Each structure stands twice: as structure tokens, then as C-alpha cells.
Chain A
Amino acid sequence: MRPATTGKVFGMITIKDVEHVAKLARLELTPQERELFAEQLSKIIDAFDELKDVQTDGIEPMSHAIPMPNALREDEVVTPPGHESLLKNAPDREGVFFKVPKIGD
């Protein structure tokens, strides 16, 4: 699934890259947006190029600032807000279900 680029890891983002990433992100871009994002994202990624000079061999990636164990709790019954209060915001519903357009064939 690798986007079609020149193979260079840091570098320009092409219109094709933008189309691919937009597809992954479930966004539909206008031709103008595609061009603008290709230009702006290229600039941003180019500015971030300096990161590749940092020596990070053996450095453990940090996903969280404060190391914490899993937060566990007692398996106790609680009262959830209930269907009605949560379905109030639904764009479309049928009974106690969210209604969506057909998924697949």
C-alpha cells in the first residue's frame, strides 16, 4: 500500500500522495485543495527534515509523558446514560439503532 513516490523518505509530497492519503483519511478533496495540500504539506515535511539528523539508535519511542500502569477498576455494575440520551444526537435512527446507508453489497 506504499504511496507512489520517488522512494525518497523525506521529500516532496506529490498530488498522487495527497490523493492516496486523502483516501486513507476518508476525505474528498477538490482539485484546488489537492494542489494546495501538496504544496503546503511538502513545505511542512521539508521543514521537518532536520529530524533525520538526530541520532536515535537504541532510543525507546515515547508514547506517553507520564509512565503509568494499566488503569484497572472493579467489575461493578454502573448505570449508563441510556439509549435515549445518546441517540438524541443521531443524524438518523430506527428504534434504538443508529441508521446508516447500506454497507457493502
Chain B
Amino acid sequence: MTELVGRSISELKKLLAEKSVSAREILSAHWKQVHALDPEIKAFTCLTEERAQKQAARVDELIARGEALPALAGIPVAIKDNICVADYPTTCSSKILESFIAPYEATVAQKLDAAGALFIGKTNMDEFAMGSSTENSAFKKTANPWDVSRVPGGSSGGSTASVAAGMAVLALGSDTGGSIRQPAAFCGVSGMKPTYGMVSRFGLVAFASSLDQIGPLARSVEDTAIALSVISGHDKKDSTSIPDPFKNQGPRFEESLAQEPDKLMKGLRVGVITELVGEGIEPEIVSSIRAAAAVFEKLGAKVTDVSLPNSKYALPVYYLIATAEASANLARYDGVKYGLRETEGTAKDSILQMYKSTRSKGFGAEVKRRIMLGTYALSSGYYDAYYKKAQQVRRLIKNDFDKVFESCDVLISPTSPTVAFKIGEKTDDPLSMYLSDIATIPANLAGLPGISIPAGLGKDKLPIGLQILGNTLSDEVVLKVAHAFQQSTDFHNRQFPGLATVG
């Protein structure tokens, strides 16, 4: 049998269309990879084996009947464990939801299913997506496939590691402050946060509702684009979903990529965010971003340095707004309707004590810390000084972007100030962990599309991420620029050292 792991969507679909492999064979090759590598990587919290087998059988039936294959027919997909797949656990890697079985399916999962995808499993994450290393999972610590003593980034660390290690072709993550892009940078894959409202959040467990966005992770921009075409679009079940973003034509992002890199870049104006290529960013990462800028220039783009003066406040603004929204969203975990209920040691007739015992036992330290911070920011006497102030500065940050996008089509920067750090390196210092998101947070505050793609290897041969940001709804431009870069470089083809040895 042909080697089936580490392949692109178009390669796998070609093999299926030629009938040289079946969807079942693709699935079993990926199971083999999961069983060989996941004991060490620990990307998955649960495998959705039964569902995947049904999905593979359905695709094989389509092939047998000679019917047209949908966009993701036979493509193994991993799904972050804050996105509901009906009749399987959705734990958010939290003890408070350990027993929760999703009674319905997220819109994105429905769309993947309808497109013929095979669900491999649910993936590990920082509890409730709060973290930048996946170390805040209540269940396990996911390892970075490039170096298992390092974190994969987070919070979508399980999804990202599964793609990097060839256990899935695609994965879904969620990005509230960088939770798709930062792990993509750490694990050397492509990960995109679409424009806020492009992808339905129905069935995504809410963390910070004005910032959360679901997006795809893959080993190339082309595969990322195919996945985004499948999952995006208006959904009446999500009131923040953008009505009719594609004028009824349906998105076909991958089609717009089918051009030579210099055609893709022709006439485009690329801004380098000066605040993110200086102090606080590792010099080798700055060099990689400058080298990427030179690649774009060579392809015919006009490259300039631009400034987002208020972006230096993005970190406090984000951590005040996100925690405030989280403190409200997580109020629902009270032991009444689902999840953990803790009554031990409490009087039988005290609901208030039941709430407190449940939440105190069910939430981990970072979640408690953020609920506390958010509650404080919203509490009487502090609301104006923290929450309202943060919302005002959020507008100033958005205004900076609006101004810069008058003269630029895309902006580039590092995705993260460092390469993947060691497991345990930042767990005792929440503030230093928060700094990991400094380059990704501004796009969430402004609702903008952004992608991280591999831009080289840094010290200890660890991947460096290039972030490309676009204006509202210019997701296609972001993908084109990212694709042009991958057509002109081979950073995305470098695999972690272990991949070739299995499969």
C-alpha cells in the first residue's frame, strides 16, 4: 500500500478517485500512526473510532457508486475538545465537564461530516482554552512532536500536535488570543484564525464570546484553505455569524490560490509591524520575519514598516476583556444541569454551598485565576477603571489597524516572541505565560483574520512562525499571501524528525 501518512488533501483525494486506496485504508493508516505516536505525544483526549468507521464506509460507498467526492472525502480530522461532536465527550480538558456527553453537534462538525471527513478524535487543550502551552489540561500534558520535552503551544495544542505528527491531516482549533496560531508556530504547521463571524461558533464551548473563533490547522496553506471553505459561512444558530459573507457564492478559497506566487503577490502592499520585530522578540525570529519580508519583496510586493502604537496595550486589554467575558460564560458550571456536582461535606439543603464546592473542585488553578480576575474587573467600583477602560483601548487598537490597512493589504510579524519552550518552564509565572500571546492578541481584539505559517527553524532546530494578518473579511488575501510564501520556500515541508520512522 502507498504511504498514506503525511499526505496532502489533494494527494489523498487523487488516490481515492483512482481507487488505488479506500477511505478505510486511509483511516487505518492514521490509526496506526495514532497508536504508535500518541502514547508519547498525548494529543487526544478521546478517539471517535466508531464514528470514523461509519464515515469511512460512507465515503467508500460513494466511490463504489462512482459518485462525486465531496471536499474532504476520506480526510482524517482531529477536533479540539471544546467543539461538540454528538454522543462523544466534550470535556474542554476540565474536570467540571469530565462526564459531559455532547447531546448535539457543532455546526463546524456537521459541515466536516457532510464534506466526507473522518473524525479521528477529540484533542487535548488548556482547560477551557485558557493557556498558551496545553499544560493547563486537567488530564494530560501534550508534547511537541519536534521535541517531546517542549510544549506544543496552546490552547489548541492537541489539535496542532496531531497534525504535526501525521495523526490527522486537518484539525479544528479555536483562537481567542492566539490559540490556533501560536501552537501552529510552535509545531511548524499552518493555522488560521478567520475573520470573527466567518465560522459559526454554534457548538463551541464559550470562553470569551467577543473574541472566540474556530479555525483550521493543516500542514499546508492549501489544505488550510480547503478546510476553511468547508467550515465557513453564515449560521442562523450563531447570532454573531456574519450574514452572507460570500454573497451566496460560497467560499472557494483554494481556487483563488491556483496562481504563480508572483501573480498572487502582484501589487500587494505588505506592512511589517515594527512593534513586533524589536525588543522582547528573539533575534533569530526577527531575522526570519525580515527574511520573509524579502521573499515578498522579491515576488513583487511593496514592503514597508508600519506602526500600531496602541498595540502595546493589547495584552492588558485582552486579559481584562477575555477574563471578564469568561467569568460570565463560566457561571453556567454550577452543578445543576450537567457536568460535575460536588455535594460532599455540604449540608443537603444548601444550593449555594453546592455551587461553591462544585466550582472549586471542578476548575483548575488557571481557570479560577481568570474567573477571579474577570470578576474583579467587572465588580462594583472597578468596572470603569478596568473593564470599560479596556473596551475603550480596544477601540484605539482597532483604529490603528483601520489606519494601517488604508495603505497595506496585509501585515506581517512573528507569531510568537519565542520558539516552543520547555514543559514546566512558565507554569509558575502566569504573567510570563501571558506574554506568549503578545503578537497574536491584537487580531482577536480587532476581529481580523490571521494565519501562522512556518518560516524557518531556530535554535535547537525548532520551528519559527510567520504571522500574516489581513483586514476584516480579507481572509482570501491572507491565504493568497501565505500560499505565495509556501510556493517560494520549503519551510512547511520540513517535518519533525520522527515522522518518517512510523507508518
Contact = CB atoms under 8 A, between A and B. Distances in A.
B371 A44 contact: no
Identify the interface centre among B346, B363, B369: most chain A CB within 10 Å of its CB. B369
Contacts of B100: 89
Contact of B210 (A33, A64, A103): A64
A27 B371 contact: yes
B336 A98 contact: yes
A98 B446 contact: no
A86 B104 CA distance: 9
Interface string B237-252: 0011111000000000
Interface string B359-390: 11001010011011101100111100110111
Chief secondary structure at chain A's binding surface: loop
Interface stretch (B21-29, B265-273, B294-302, B314-322): B314-322
A77 interface: no
Identify the interface centre among B335, B339, B389: most chain A CB within 10 Å of its CB. B389
Contacts of A21: 372, 375-376, 379
A95 interface: no
Contacts of A103: 351
B349 interface: yes
Given A40-B369, A102-B351, A56 B392 contact: yes
Contact of A85 (B103, B319, B375, B448): B103
Interface in A1-58: 1-3, 9-10, 13, 17-18, 20-22, 24-29, 33, 37, 40-41, 43-45, 47-48, 50-52, 54, 56
B390 A51 contact: yes
Given A48-B316, A52-B385, A100 B354 contact: yes
A50 B446 CA distance: 20
B337 A47 contact: no
B63 interface: no
Given A13-B376, A68-B197, A62 B431 contact: no
B392 A37 contact: no
Given A61-B395, A63-B210, A90 B360 contact: no
How big is chain B's contact interface, by range?
35 or more
Nearest to A44: B431
Contacts of A81: 103-104
B472 A90 contact: no
Interface in B268-327: 310, 312-313, 316-317, 319-320, 327
Given A59-B392, A65-B447, A37 B369 contact: yes
A21 B381 CA distance: 12
How big is chain A's contact interface, by range?
35 or more
Contacts of B99: 89
B242 A68 contact: yes
A51 B348 contact: no
Interface in A60-81: 60-66, 68, 70-71, 73, 81
Contacts of A60: 392, 395
Interface string B191-206: 0000111000000000
Interface string B93-130: 00000011101100000000000000000000000000
Contact of B196 (A33, A66, A89): A66
Contact of A89 (B339, B368, B430, B448): B339
A5 to B, nearest CB: 8
A48 B312 CA distance: 11
11 contacts: A1-B381, A2-B380, A9-B382, A25-B327, A44-B373, A60-B395, A64-B210, A65-B210, A71-B239, A89-B100, A102-B349
Given A29-B360, A47-B316, 14 more contacts: A17-B376, A25-B372, A41-B373, A43-B431, A44-B431, A54-B313, A62-B395, A66-B242, A71-B239, A71-B241, A88-B101, A88-B103, A89-B100, A90-B337
